[in-house]
Chains A and B, each alone.
Chain A
Amino acid sequence: MADVILKADNLFKHYPIKGGVLRRTVGHVKAVDGVSFELQRGETLGIVGESGCGKSTLGRVLMRLEEPTSGTVNFDGVDMYSQSGSAMRKMRRDIQIVFQDPYTSLNPRKTVGDIIGEPFEIHPDVLPKGGRKAAVKELLDLVGLNPEHINRYPHQFSGGQRQRIGIARGIALRPKVLICDEPVSALDVSVQAQVINLMEKLQDELGLSYIFIAHDLSVVRHISDRVGVMYLGRMVELGTEEEIYQRPTHPYTQALLSAVPVPDPTMRGKREQIVLTGDVPSPANPPSGCRFHTRCFKAQDRCKTEDPELLSRPDGHGEHRSACLFAEPRVIVETIDVTDLEPDARFASTETVDQDAFAGGDGRLPADATSVVERSHATGESEGPLDRPNDTHRLIDNDPAEKRDPSV
């Protein structure tokens, strides 16, 4: 059952700090400091932590955008860091990344067609030249954008639409793993849900595995199967979504969870708040022993000298991995199961198609909206140059024209 697609083993990434006249190395920023985990095929592994904990560096090292100081990544049975240039390039087809900022991660001088088509230029043997335009259009359609907009430039799109473009580029080569570095944190709340739903849909349809790096614990809970919590370059707790959110055993995870505000005023003052004092210490000079001991409410003398390993420790129900000598489950979040609850369709929709495509700058439905709808249905039927795993999905489940009746 356990089908591991990516396995990181004892990854380290230290950046040298140069100082003095001779620019000698005077120290190291220990951005990633011994991280190990496994990613199963088809699952979403959430990585959470505060800024500076090394989560973004971890993403870059996993992509081999940065060479690690030491450690190995085994991707689908192959050791990634021993690959030569051309073999690595081939491997990158299977592991792609979506960046945080949709404003700076797209080249403003290229059209959307060029941006999404670029992976096909870099990997020319994936698809013959003639099929590329059609493939790009299909990708646009897949991420819920209007394929007619292939010749537009990034500035003509909103933030949410740009993030869809970034996702389309990420999935162009049908990777097995997509690393998403804060993919929704730059978006407005109402747009964020559209992109999250799109990512979940793409995962189901394309069988993708996600590494979802984010600081928002609510978003991570929603999208992840398993979650890793990072602090100062280390993984301090790793478990299923349920284990991390319902019975966290590491004091840092507990403090993080208790700090997240819940949009329910009746809970005010009723939730336990663990207030951490001080700031995260510098990763250039992390504390001895357990790195969290300087801010920990449970710290004892042992914690200053002993470095706890990420080991399976009992959590009251079973056990999961936690790096605390005094690991103890504690209920921080009273979880309500809302699996059967459907959102009220009168106010919001679970559709993943970009509905802004139907609205002009003034927010009105353009006259050709209905043709856009027909077009979407048509592409659902026809075979694209890249096969879809199944043809059961429709990009548009119900006719948007119904809801956005052109009034004028």
Chain B
Amino acid sequence: MTTTTKSAAPASSYKPDADGRLLEVDDLHVEFHTPDGIARAINGVSFDLHEGETLAILGESGSGKSVTAQAIMGILDMPPAVIPSGSIRYCGQDLLTMPEEQRRKVRGPEISMIFQDALSSLNPTFPVGWQIGEMFRQHRGMNKSDAYAQAVRLMERVAIPAAKERVKSYPHQFSGGMRQRIMIAMAIALDPAVLIADEPTTALDVTVQAQIMALLAELQEERKMGLILITHDLGVVADVADRAAVMYAGRIVARAGIEDLYAQPAHPYTRGLLESIPRLDQKGQTLAAIGGLPPNLTRIPQGCAFNPRCRMAQDICRTELPALRQVGQQQSACHFAEEVLNG
């Protein structure tokens, strides 16, 4: 049931480099050409991901975290999306310049993704087993019955009760948590090296969220996958991530090991976010909010994009874009990062 090797699995031609680095995103830009102008969704994002590591990408709606994931997966609608510059290297090969034929062999067997809304991501007109099996039929050339057998094996692996009986059920016959398990089964079907989870538990209740996060952690451990967890939930991140990157208006504004990020945030936005969440383990808490809203991506403020909402902002913040730079053990894109870190 928990076997990780598959009968027909060809050896991957992709190997991580000597440091175990799987994915390297470098200065990625994505813009959307809309009737209202050019929305700059991602403005120079760089990060890397190693084997067996969990990287959290944190941000509010509109920060560009999901677009980053879609760019890596190569599932952006182009147009309206355009990638004017940047590179996404998987085991040294640039996915963006790769021919589509070759990229299809990466999408699924090498890098796969779990979406937030399992109901709308599954096809309502096909049995779930058919949809999981599609991975094997497409990429491994299996016949129908072998693919169904593999689907049962995977459904058992993600702990769907009575998998054999339910393999021919349709998505609407499953609960939200079970549908998310089916999504996970599809995503891990071909034993990918990188798994991207885009808000995997946002639509679920807390008890189910705990089950799904536990399952993901277990699968990651078992398969040594690199996991990119995209979320706005600071609680979930604290529970599972090794490192985190905080995104704001299409840029990474802070990057740190998970303990530093919470204990000594070096960016005012991260500090503000931490002040604004109610905590289960605190009583008598005074909540404070970051005023205002994230900017409209067609009109990102000059200088630091966060400056209109930042209570520390000075003249320099309105004119000069702060670069992401090393501050102590972490990185921050703030002109006053040292003050934030030490104050």
Contacts and interface: CB of A to CB of B under 8 A. Distances in A.
A339 B280 contact: no
Contacts of A408: 318
A279 interface: yes
B233 interface: yes
B284 interface: yes
Given A347-B271, A408-B318, A218 B177 contact: no
B13 interface: no
B289 A197 contact: yes
Contacts, number: 234
Contacts of B178: 279
Interface string A146-170: 0000000000001010000000000
B211 interface: yes
Given A189-B232, A193-B287, A262-B238, A338 B272 contact: no
Interface residues of A, number: 77
Given A355-B291, A404-B308, A219 B278 contact: yes
Contacts of B259: 265-266
Interface in B183-217: 205-211, 213-214
Given A218-B278, A279-B177, A338-B284, A190 B206 contact: no
Interface residues of B, number: 69
B238 A264 contact: yes
A360 to B, nearest CB: 9
A346 B311 contact: yes
Interface string A261-281: 111111110000101111100
Contacts of A279: 175, 177-178, 208
A189 B273 contact: yes
A256 interface: yes
Q: Is the interface of A mostly helix, strand, loop or mixed?
A: loop
B322 interface: no
Contacts of B340: 347
Given A261-B235, A275-B211, A278-B161, 14 more contacts: A190-B60, A190-B273, A190-B289, A194-B289, A217-B206, A221-B283, A260-B280, A263-B279, A335-B283, A338-B282, A343-B275, A345-B288, A348-B275, A359-B309
Interface of A: 50-51, 158, 160, 188-194, 196-197, 215-219, 221-223, 241-242, 245, 255-268, 273, 275-279, 333-351, 355-356, 358-359, 361-365, 400, 403-404, 407-408
28 contacts: A188-B294, A191-B289, A215-B206, A218-B279, A218-B280, A221-B283, A222-B285, A256-B206, A257-B280, A258-B210, A259-B210, A260-B235, A263-B277, A264-B262, A264-B279, A268-B238, A275-B214, A336-B283, A343-B286, A344-B288, A347-B288, A347-B311, A348-B276, A362-B299, A362-B301, A363-B309, A364-B308, A403-B291
